[in-house]
Structure 1
Amino acid sequence: MRHDRPTHDKHWLSLNLPPPVCGRFPEKVLSLSDDSRQVENGALFLIRPGEGFRWEFVDEALDRGASYLVADRKAFPEIDSRPALSSRIREFAGLSLVENLPRAVGQLASSWWGFPSSFLKVIGVTGTNGKTTSSFLTRSVCRAGGLPCGLIGTVVFDVGHEETEAPQTTPGAIRIQSLFAESLRNGLKSVSMEVSSHALDQDRLAGTNFSVVHFTNLTRDHLDYHRTMEAYFEAKRKLLMWENPDGSHPVAVVHTGDEYGARLAKELERDGRRVLTYGEGADAMIRPLRVDVGLSGIRGTLRTSRGEMSIDSSLSGHYNLQNILGAVGCGEALGLSMEKIAEGIHSLPGVPGRFERVDSPTGFSVIVDYAHTDDALSNLLSAVRPVTRGKVITVFGCGGDRDRGKRPRMGSVAGRLSDFVVLTSDNPRTENPESILDEIEPGLRETGTPYVRVSDRKSAIFEAIRRARPGDAVVIAGKGHENYQILGKQKIHFDDREIARLALAESSR
């Protein structure tokens, strides 16, 4: 088994692919790619029609030296209708057809890299909110328990030697398996990863062996993609009902304080799966007994399936208590001791862009958070409100080209839980920023909370900090760790934390 740069022969091809419908298997394939721009001589190229796809990409892959192609059977009539392309494939390469290309890509990639997830403890976390913090907590717990742990998620990819900025929450199937392989090569024993509903719907995790799967919650988001909440739930459900390539099932850690989580737990139990439940209900296996939640942290005693344990975390907010409970469940599922789990919880200082406090010498607090759904914003502001003696001033917007239905709902939450709101842009993308604010405004207006519209986000942050007084809290929500803003098709550098520091420096002059 190799995890550096594998190559495979035609015997491997014959074991992993149907026989060629044209051409022949090459003696050897040197790399695996589904991006024609990255094809190298001797590559196995996967034809993946989708948004932005053009058949010229297949010609480009052949020009670059692809020696074998794989396509979905449904795409064959399109290939066959292009005589020049068909002729090139027959003469210079070969072609196999598969029934479900997205699933086949994951399975091929896993085999290509030597089934790396089978040699790791992979913990997958899914849910609308809490994935990032939960995955960071789980990595910390694994490390404390003697399982060197990597991370794949929204903020960073960590495969054991350095952290790199994550281009997306859950990468493509080929990249996922290569990250697992790299993690193994670097001596890691486990990987904590966020699993998005898009990735599950698109079968990007096919071929992955999960040890633990974790469900945090489900609230409205991504309905621009999934259309209905039930379809969104079904995508998330795929991870909890996962069957590994060897036929085994991962341990499920489920938040039963969430209605969808309660449904999942019952279904899993009926199916005979091992389930660890958490929440604040008396029936949850992992639940708080005596816990204090404040701005300085979360401390107290939990009930677990193995008895009581103490926790001491620097994370803030009641919603982070839920994330801690879930991480405790993941630690239990992996067989780690309560002492090591508690050590892991304690050793995580914070998560970038998640209730991240910006140093303020002005007597008021500034908090940057990724909250970009109505539920996440409600949790965030509900955590800030009780520990703020002055006013809560909230800066937020909604992303363009995304679920429009949540916009007035977010406006309502911001108005209900803030004393003043600065309504601004998030990532407008190709939408008119003012039109987005128009759709948020009705929900905000009906609360009666005073607000201003400042579509330029930098100006909005300056405006909020200019208005703040000692004892107040300025909450900048929506982008968190992101260091960019998407305007039209252009991505520009923009970091809420940097802008907040500039505004604070100016206000203290």
Structure 2
Amino acid sequence: MKLYKLLQDIKYEVINGGVDIDISNISYDSRKIKEDSIFVCINGANVNGHDYIKEAIKKGALAIIIEEEIQVNNENITVIKVDNSKVALASIANLFYNKPSKEINLVGVTGTNGKTTVIHYIKDILEAYNKRTAVIGTLGYEFENKEASIQKINPTTPEALELQGLFREFIDKGAENVVMEVTSSALAKYRVENCDFNVGVFTNLSQDHLDEHGTMENYKNEKMKLFRKCSIGVINLDDKIAEEIIEKATCKILTYGINKEADIKATDIRYKNDCVIFKIKFKEMNWSWWSGKDLKVNIPGKVTVYNALAAIGACLGLGMDISDVISALSNLKYVPGRLEMVTNSLNKNIIVDYAHTPDALERLLMMARETTDGRLVTVFGCGGDRDKSKRKIMGMAAGILSDYCIITSDNPRTEDPEKIIEDVEEGMEKINSSYEKIADRRKAIEKGLKLLKEEDLLIIAGKGHENYQIIGDEKIHFDDREIVKEILG
């Protein structure tokens, strides 16, 4: 594709060379440069792409996109200066892959907690009616149980170049819908610019990622950007920032909730150990004929109700028939590492969950408190090199809602695991809870299992689906679910 065509949607200045050249590849990683490439210099948290221009040219880059004042002493290389190279990357990638998001139904889900579960619930409902659906998120990039060829680099939302490539790959394989997690970081770093979202979903907002955004106000404002990028916004009306999102959104709004009079409201909720049963009331809609009928989702907890309502709203936003959406609720499956019951021959009650924020841990333990007749034992920790202010809060939440806690390591990264545990312990001490500290996560899980009696419930929180631990700079294999099964034999 001609370079001038790739640049048509952005403001730019030609510093050197010309734009009437053929480009066959785009990269922001100098190690992945191929012949006839354009190299986009991204200024990241740890690496500045401008430092790798010479390497990119050696490997075959014909054009360089810069945002800093850089002198390139090579008359054969085109140099283009832009105000923001991340915005430029998103625009160039979108055009390079021929605006793929306009060819599919695209759903983006944002919020502190629940994103992974909601995108998989939406996928389950769509696939119940043979609507071919791909997912992009924390658990990977997948279409019809097959992983995409594009490598997963970022934890959740891909960089703009990989994202547009994924859209094109999924379309070429026959996908009609793509459902993806949209993180605050992705919104802040322009990864989802030029994405044509049919539906945006907001789950909730609570403390997280302050290490990146600095304040809750900044974090909130990043989340709200999605609702200026989509056609229909599906909003959790029970959340404290819902009204502000609705006020500032530029899209049509469909609300859901339990406590407030939302467009889609769950009523008469009954919580059981292995499921949740509820009715749905529709506000000012022509679906009142469904009101009064019991709906059952075979996954426990209040959070399941919210996630199911979010998925219902998204599917309605895509134009599905309400009767089809409701009928498909029985198809909702456990998402790996989310409220996942670990089956075992000893019939011990064990749940592994990804809850790693104060709000997620509190919701998880409140659900557990409601569904267990015995004691609630919680094994959890906090990640290193992340927001330290939430550790004390999580300690308090776990201490208040659990009968006994074992504080352990999560992903300590480059921090001292014992120091992280002490930060959590500070919250425990404030409410005089019963706990102990075992830094070795395997030993902590083993102790939790030994404490379990017949009707007790063990919650192992923080890592969920993750099959690794990051200690220092080393990533070692570690899966809470595998550890439980090994210990129980």
TM-score by length of 1: 0.90
Determine if contact 2:381/2:421 at 8 Å carries over to the other structure.
yes
- Please say if 1:385 is aligned against 2:379: no
Of 387, 399, 415, which residue of structure 2 is paired with 1:431? Answer: 415
Partner of 1:59: 54
Instruction: Give the aligned residue type for 1:65.
Output: G
Of 233, 236, 255, which residue of structure 2 is paired with 1:252? Answer: 233
Partner of 1:221: 208
- Please say if 1:263 is aligned against 2:250: no
Offset at residue 175 of structure 1 (A): 0.5
Offset at residue 128 of structure 1 (A): 0.3
Partner of 1:296: 274
Is the alpha carbon distance of 1:199 and 1:239 closer, same or farther for their aligned partners in structure 2, counting shifts above 3 Å?
same
Partner of 2:73: 87
- Please say if 1:25 is aligned against 2:11: no
Instruction: Give the aligned residue type for 1:293.
Output: Y
Offset at residue 499 of structure 1 (A): 0.6
Q: Deviation string for 1:450-484 (max 9, x for gaps)?
A: 11100011111111111111111110000000011
Offset at residue 10 of structure 1 (A): 4.2
Q: Deviation string for 1:114-172 (max 9, x for gaps)?
A: 10000111000000011111111111122234431110011121134603695411010
Instruction: Give the aligned residue type for 1:259.
Output: K
Of 322, 326, 338, which residue of structure 2 is paired with 1:354? Answer: 338
Q: Distance in 2 between matches of 1:35 and 1:287?
A: 47
Q: Distance in 2 between matches of 1:153 and 1:124?
A: 10
Instruction: Give the aligned residue type for 2:247.
Output: K
Determine if contact 1:295/1:387 at 8 Å carries over to the other structure.
yes
Partner of 2:295: 311
Partner of 1:118: 102
Is the alpha carbon distance of 1:466 and 1:69 closer, same or farther for their aligned partners in structure 2, counting shifts above 3 Å?
same
Q: Percent identity?
A: 35
Offset at residue 291 of structure 1 (A): 2.8
The Cα RMSD (Å) is 1.7
Determine if contact 1:13/1:25 at 8 Å carries over to the other structure.
no
Determine if contact 1:126/1:215 at 8 Å carries over to the other structure.
yes
Offset at residue 262 of structure 1 (A): 2.6
- Please say if 1:398 is aligned against 2:382: yes
Is the alpha carbon distance of 1:365 and 1:39 closer, same or farther for their aligned partners in structure 2, counting shifts above 3 Å?
same
Matches for 1:60-459 after TM superposition, within 5 Å: 60-72=55-67, 75-76=68-69, 79-80=70-71, 86-88=72-74, 90-91=75-76, 93-160=77-144, 162-163=146-147, 166-167=152-153, 168-242=155-229, 249-268=230-249, 273-304=251-282, 305=285, 306-307=287-288, 308=290, 310-459=294-443
Instruction: Give the aligned residue type for 2:467.
Output: N
Offset at residue 173 of structure 1 (A): 0.5
TM-score by length of 2: 0.94
Q: Deviation string for 1:7-51 (max 9, x for gaps)?
A: x12452463564521022363111111111111111111011223
- The 3-state SS of whatever aligns with 1:118 is helix
- Please say if 1:498 is aligned against 2:482: yes
- Please say if 1:46 is aligned against 2:30: no
Instruction: Give the aligned residue type for 2:333.
Output: P
Q: Distance in 1 between matches of 2:203 and 2:3?
A: 44
Instruction: Give the aligned residue type for 1:63.
Output: K
Is the alpha carbon distance of 1:24 and 1:146 closer, same or farther for their aligned partners in structure 2, counting shifts above 3 Å?
same
Gaps of 5+ in 1: 1-7, 81-85, 243-248
Offset at residue 312 of structure 1 (A): 2.2
Q: Deviation string for 1:209-261 (max 9, x for gaps)?
A: 0000010100001111111111100000111122xxxxxx4100000100112
Offset at residue 266 of structure 1 (A): 3.4
Determine if contact 1:312/1:342 at 8 Å carries over to the other structure.
no
